Amino acid sequence: MEPKKQNNSQGELFKRELEGMVRPSHFLVKLSKVVNWERFEKAFGINYCADKGAPGISTRTMAGLTILKYLNDCSDEVVFEYWLENPYWQYFCVERYFQHEVPCDRSQLSRWRKRIGEKGAEEFLAESLAAAHEAGLLRMKFLEELFVDTTVQEKNIAYPSEANLLNRARKNLVKLCKEHDVLLRQTYTRVGKLHQIKAHKYAAAHQWNRARREIRKLRTIVGRIIREIDRNLTDDKKPYFKAFLELTKKLYHSKDTGEKIHSLHEPHVEAIAKGKMHKRFEFGNKVSVVRTRKKGFILGCKSFHGNPYDGHTLEEALKDVEQRVGKEIFAKVGVDLGYRGHGIKEKFRVLHPRLKRLPKKSRLFIRARSAIEASISHLKRCFRLGRNYLKGKLGDIMNALLAGAACNFSKICHALR
């Protein structure tokens, strides 16, 4: 059911009002007056049923908690702990009196994110830009000069060594068989763990032939369990095994097919090489970041799956910005050499360092492009883009958008201090 509107016309005798506790000049108090909260209520109202179920949590409370979570780089659990002891956080989430209990369970925040989906995360980024424009920090002329670059949003997975994945697949298959009473002649619990440990020790000692031998033994064990499950599985139990059994077979045959799986609980994760000496591969998905040259506001944080070439992401990233801004943009765009062969010939003038016969202003513009590297580093270190804890492809998309929105809200907060 839709959240009920709070009636604060009548005061409480024994509760302390937050209005008297907070300082009016505090940046969160000022930010709460700049943000258009009605926009969120209109956008997210369609996700609620009008007459069924218990009343939902206030939209402003959930939106405020989401902004605070990404502004302060907190987990769902920690954001509720801080909210309980911080009057400014409670004021930001439209509470009138100081509360001694959390507004909802922390799992509600996760379910609320799933409910609003990608469009809801888009609303946060769009509102951050609208609030910056209303505060006089973002002007339309800033959209004439843009910088674009890609980065990897790493997923919260363990390092995908082949021995780990095979032994984990064996464990999960055995667990499923115990839950649904499918008999196995042998579970290989002790043997599988022993082969996994030996593979890691041989690899650490650079004894690669021995390490590969242990991995082959693990693969043989997984193949035996798969074939035994296929023989013993009845028709009524097949739906419970179907998804994970297909994934395990894909992992088992990966040596022949060349189709790599880097995580069993996040099978869509890709291994992306960005040419870093200290980190040869990053496991996650590619994100295209678009920012203004002046003030450094984030206009777009678009996720891409399938590890596309940087030049092929440029057109879609700029279209995404146009859609968010609500008008056509005729801009000068600064990129690095990874974007050569982008194929854009209209509206945007794309400049990279290898272009010749450019005027001095364009040369200075290309030189200033490196500022986006600092913005990406800031997104990763402070706004949860560095490691993504949200599940699935939808989690990849939402985490990038919410990180970009938090970066813009942070710039507004610094201006309001």
- Model confidence over 304-321: pLDDT tens digits? 999 999 999 999 999 999
Q: How many other C-beta atoms are found inside a 10 Å radius of the C-beta of residue 358?
A: 13
Determine the residue type at 235. Answer: D
Q: Are residues 29 and 168 in the same domain?
A: no
Q: Is residue 166 assigned to a domain?
A: yes
Q: Is residue 250 assigned to a domain?
A: yes
Average pLDDT of the residues in 375-387: 95
Which of 100, 116, 132 marks a domain boundary? 116
151, 376 Cβ separation under 8 angstroms: yes
267-293 burial by CB neighbour count: b if 16+ within 10 A, else e? eebbebeeeeeeeeebbbbbbbbbbbb
Q: Which residue range is the domain that position 229 belongs to?
A: 162-257
Position 55 confidence tier, pLDDT thresholds 50, 70, 90 = confident
Q: Are residues 151 and 194 in the same domain?
A: no
Least confidently predicted of 11-25, 133-147, 268-282: 11-25
150 or 9: which leads in pLDDT? 150
387, 152 Cβ separation under 8 angstroms: no
Q: DSSP string covering 35-90, please?
A: S-HHHHHHHHGGGS-SSSSSPPPPHHHHHHHHHHHHHTT--HHHHHHHHHH-HHHH
pLDDT given for residue 9 in this prediction: 56
Pairing label, strands 270-272, 282-292 = antiparallel
Q: Is residue 3 assigned to a domain?
A: no
Average pLDDT of the residues in 379-400: 95
Tell me the three state secondary structure of residue 177.
helix
pLDDT given for residue 11 in this prediction: 60
Most confident of 91-105, 162-176, 317-331: 162-176
**Residue 276 clears pLDDT 90, i.e. is over it:** no
Q: Are residues 281 and 222 in the same domain?
A: no
Q: Are residues 322 and 341 in the same domain?
A: yes
Whole-angstrom distance, CA of residue 58 vs CA of residue 75:
20
CA-closest candidate to residue 145, choices 358, 408, 349: 349
Q: Is residue 408 assigned to a domain?
A: no
Which of 257, 291, 312 marks a domain boundary? 257
pLDDT given for residue 7 in this prediction: 59
Average pLDDT of the residues in 181-201: 95
Position 379 confidence tier, pLDDT thresholds 50, 70, 90 = very high
The pair of structure tokens assigned to 41 is 């209520």
Q: What is the chain's alpha carbon radius of gyration, rounded to the nearest angstrom?
A: 26
pLDDT given for residue 56 in this prediction: 76
Q: Which domain CATH number covers 275? A: 3.30.420
β-pair partners for 286:
152, 304
Which of 200, 224, 257 marks a domain boundary? 257
| pLDDT digit string, tens, across residues 36-49 | 999 998 888 877 77
pLDDT given for residue 353 in this prediction: 86
β-pair partners for 152:
286
Q: Are residues 283 and 323 in the same domain?
A: yes
Q: Are residues 173 and 48 in the same domain?
A: no
CA-closest candidate to residue 390, choices 160, 201, 204, 114: 114
Question: How many domains, the chain?
Answer: 3
Q: Are residues 103 and 239 in the same domain?
A: no
CA-closest candidate to residue 401, choices 109, 146, 118: 118
Q: Is residue 47 assigned to a domain?
A: yes
Q: For the purposes of burial, counting CB atoms within 10 Å of the CB of 406, is it exposed (0-12), middle (13-18) or buried (19 or more)?
A: buried
* CA triple 160-165-169, angle to 5 deg: 155
Q: Are residues 169 and 280 in the same domain?
A: no
Q: Which H helix or E strand runs over 301?
A: strand 298-304
Mean pLDDT of the chain: 91
| pLDDT digit string, tens, across residues 313-345 | 999 999 999 999 888 888 899 999 989 888 888
CB half-sphere exposure, 75, CA atoms < 13 A: 5
Position 352 confidence tier, pLDDT thresholds 50, 70, 90 = confident
**Residue 161 clears pLDDT 70, i.e. is over it:** yes
Q: Are residues 278 and 389 in the same domain?
A: yes
Q: What is the pTM of this model?
A: 0.92
**Residue 5 clears pLDDT 70, i.e. is over it:** no
406 or 358: which leads in pLDDT? 406
Q: Are residues 27 and 111 in the same domain?
A: yes
**Is the Cα torsion angle 59, 62, 67, 70 positive or negative in sign?**
negative
Q: Are residues 295 and 234 in the same domain?
A: no
Q: Are residues 85 and 167 in the same domain?
A: no
Phi-psi region of 275 (alpha: psi -120 to 50; beta: other; left: phi over 0): left
117-132 burial by CB neighbour count: b if 16+ within 10 A, else e? eeebbbbbbbbbbbbb
| pLDDT digit string, tens, across residues 194-231 | 999 999 999 999 999 999 999 999 999 999 999 999 99
Q: Is residue 10 assigned to a domain?
A: no
Q: Is residue 43 assigned to a domain?
A: yes
**Residue 236 clears pLDDT 90, i.e. is over it:** yes
405, 66 Cβ separation under 8 angstroms: no
Whole-angstrom distance, CA of residue 179 vs CA of residue 14:
53
Q: Is residue 340 assigned to a domain?
A: yes
**Token pair 């033994």 is at which residue?**
217
CB half-sphere exposure, 329, CA atoms < 13 A: 26
**Residue 415 clears pLDDT 60, i.e. is over it:** yes
Q: At what angle do helices 106-134 and 310-325 cross, to 10 degrees?
A: 80
- Kindly state the percentage of the chain with pLDDT values over 70: 97
- Kindly state the percentage of the chain with pLDDT values over 90: 75
